[in-house]
């Protein structure tokens, strides 16, 4: 099959699965030619379709599978990245209805907001921090469009790295006001601790995950834009959510983020 047709078919199937909240089977079995490069093109197509349908625009980027905990949980041993849209952003003070989701999970992340463009093929951790305006705790709702969250690397790339919604917590700190590497994190559901971790769980330092992505983006002539938000990837396993769940993440010296779910 022609490459363009493959890309369109995959993007259209994922777009409909999200809109109508149903699961699809992973694509690699039917499209053996699907590799990471083609999958990023399908992701771009999917984002174009979503921007048009939701009348929204790009808010930033997200990384996924940047911690050993997440890689082992999902059986995919390389990081991936996707796009965040304005339509995916939720706030802490509004209960989140579970109605639009397929099988949502939530996970704690460190978010970065950029004050200038970050571009290049050999960007380092200090350069990432230098271009960062603020860092803050965040929660990401992931909702893979694949049956039982079962996917390979190209599948999850095409599916915009399972992204669904995100919530920024606070307060906002400058990147040199917290130790993003040694910073401890406590993740709770309904008052019970379900995981603990540290910033270093994300590739040794969350800014390293962002450097990795920027260096990859450069291959496609892309970059992080001023004002964009980047989620650096979950620090521990994601947890499933049900109506009535109150989820919080607290980060040492960095504040917290909260989400409450309803039917
Ligand atoms: C893939 C997305 C992973 C993260 O932070 O590791 C991700 C998945 O687990 O479905 O967003
Ligand atoms: Mg994530």
Strand pairing partners for 188? Answer: 193, 248
Ligand 1 pocket residue status of 85, Cβ below 6 Å: no
Question: With bands split at pLDDT 50, 70 and 90, how would you rate the model's confidence at 244?
Answer: very high
List the residue whose alpha carbon is closest to atom 8 of ligand 1.
162
User: What does the mean pLDDT of the chain come to?
Assistant: 97
Instruction: Give me Rg for the CA atoms of the chain.
Output: 17
List the residue whose alpha carbon is closest to atom 7 of ligand 1.
64
- Residue of 145, 238, 249 best suited for mutating to test ligand 1, as the one with most atoms within 8 Å of CB: 238
The pTM of the full predicted model, rounded to 2 decimals, is: 0.98
CA gap 172, 118 in Å, rounded: 20
Ligand 1 pocket residue status of 123, Cβ below 6 Å: no
List the residue whose alpha carbon is closest to atom 10 of ligand 1.
162
List the residue whose alpha carbon is closest to atom 3 of ligand 1.
64
Ligand 1 pocket residue status of 107, Cβ below 6 Å: yes
What are 171-207's pLDDT values in tens digits? 999 999 999 999 999 999 999 999 999 999 999 999 9
CA gap 79, 180 in Å, rounded: 19
Within 10 Å of residue 91's Cβ, how many Cβ atoms?
A: 9
Residue 2: per-residue pLDDT: 80
Name, in order, each residue with C-beta under 8 angstroms of 206's C-beta and a sequence gap of 6 or more.
Answer: 66, 110, 112, 180, 199, 232, 233
List the residue whose alpha carbon is closest to atom 4 of ligand 1.
64
Ligand nearest, relative to CA of residue 206: 1
What are 211-237's pLDDT values in tens digits? 999 999 999 999 999 999 999 999 999
Q: Average pLDDT, stretch 77-89?
A: 98
Q: Which domains does the chain have, with CATH numbers?
A: 2-262 (3.90.850.10)
- Residue of 76, 161, 202 best suited for mutating to test ligand 1, as the one with most atoms within 8 Å of CB: 161
What are 6-61's pLDDT values in tens digits? 999 999 999 999 999 999 999 999 999 999 999 999 999 999 999 999 999 999 99
In the reported structure, the alpha carbon of residue 126 is separated from the centroid of ligand 2 by a whole-number distance in angstroms of 23
In the reported structure, the alpha carbon of residue 165 is separated from the centroid of ligand 1 by a whole-number distance in angstroms of 12
Question: With bands split at pLDDT 50, 70 and 90, how would you rate the model's confidence at 1?
Answer: low
């Amino acid at each position: 099959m022609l490459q363009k047709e493959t890309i369109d078919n995959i993007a259209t199937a994922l777009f409909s699965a999200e809109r109508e909240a149903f699961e699809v089977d992973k694509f690699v079995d039917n499209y053996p030619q699907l590799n990471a490069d083609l999958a990023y093109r399908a992701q771009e197509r999917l984002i174009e379709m979503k921007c048009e349908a939701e009348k929204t625009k790009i808010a930033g980027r997200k990384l996924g599978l940047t911690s050993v905990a997440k890689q082992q949980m999902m059986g995919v041993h390389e990081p991936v990245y996707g796009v965040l849209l304005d339509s995916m952003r939720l706030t802490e003070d509004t209960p989140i209805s579970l109605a639009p989701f397929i099988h949502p999970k939530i996970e704690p992340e460190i978010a970065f907001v950029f004050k200038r463009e970050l571009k290049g093929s050999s960007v380092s951790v200090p350069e990432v921090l230098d271009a960062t305006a603020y860092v803050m705790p965040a929660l990401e709702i992931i909702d893979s469009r694949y049956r039982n969250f079962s996917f390979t690397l190209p599948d999850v790339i095409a599916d915009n790295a399972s992204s669904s919604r995100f919530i920024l917590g606070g307060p906002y700190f400058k990147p040199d006001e917290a130790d993003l590497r040694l910073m401890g994190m406590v993740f709770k559901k309904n008052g019970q601790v379900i995981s603990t971790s540290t910033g270093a769980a994300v590739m040794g330092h969350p800014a390293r995950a962002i450097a990795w992505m920027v260096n990859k983006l450069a291959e496609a002539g892309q970059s992080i834009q001023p004002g964009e938000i980047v989620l650096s990837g979950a620090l521990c396993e994601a947890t499933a959510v049900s109506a009535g769940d109150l989820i919080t993440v607290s980060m040492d010296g960095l504040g917290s983020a909260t989400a409450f779910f309803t039917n």
